[in-house]
């Protein structure tokens, strides 16, 4: 009986940690240079798993081909999207993309779609010349998104 009383707090702590990592917050490591200059290879991020209200320019982590990718949301469900002469057009209107590096001309019709489907998002890396993103893999499903990140654990600080 004394043994159970001794380990009981440790069991509770372990359960709480597992629940937090599963449903609320978890660390993620950036792999590669597709998010340069915003994020660097090896940077340790804190992923918010509970926030499912995705907005334009949020940085998300999602599952793709048995790996986790880190990209920025550019297009939302129901929108048209085009880059022309380095300028982002959403639904035919110019949208300032302060995170973009040089972006080659692109339009959704290059992927044989006209509008981003419901429950899908168009994501891109900030290092547009070195990013496998929705221009290649197509829009990603909302269900594949693990969460949003806006805080780096190492180096410590908030992310733009």
Q: Is the dihedral of CA 23, 126, 77, 160 positive or negative?
A: positive
User: Considering 40, 48, 67, 71, which one is annotated as catalytic?
Assistant: 71
Phi then psi for 100, rounded to 5 degrees?
-75, 135
Active site residue 48: no
CA distances from 118 to 58, 90, 102, 129, 142 (A): 18, 16, 28, 28, 9
Active site residue 104: no
Long-range contacts of 90-94 (CB under 8 A, 24+ apart): 90/56
Report how far residue 88's alpha carbon sits from residue 97's, in angstroms, rounded to the nearest whole number: 7
User: Considering 34, 131, 134, 152, which one is annotated as catalytic?
Assistant: 34
| Three-class DSSP category at 4 | helix
Q: Active-site positions?
A: 34, 71
């Amino acid at each position: 009986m004394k043994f159970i009383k001794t380990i009981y707090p440790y069991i509770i702590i372990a359960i709480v940690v597992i629940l937090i990592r599963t449903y609320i917050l978890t660390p993620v490591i950036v792999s590669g240079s597709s998010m340069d200059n915003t994020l660097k290879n090896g940077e340790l991020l804190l992923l918010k798993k509970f926030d499912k209200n995705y907005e334009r320019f949020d940085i998300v982590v999602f599952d793709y081909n048995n790996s986790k990718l880190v990209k920025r949301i550019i297009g939302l469900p129901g929108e048209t999207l085009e880059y022309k002469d380095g300028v982002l057009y959403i639904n035919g209107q110019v949208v300032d993309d302060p995170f973009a590096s040089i972006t080659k001309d692109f339009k959704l019709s290059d992927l044989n779609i006209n509008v981003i489907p419901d429950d899908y998002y168009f994501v891109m890396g900030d290092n547009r010349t070195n990013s496998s993103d929705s221009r290649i893999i197509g829009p990603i499903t909302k269900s594949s998104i693990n969460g949003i990140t806006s805080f780096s654990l190492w180096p410590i600080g908030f992310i733009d």
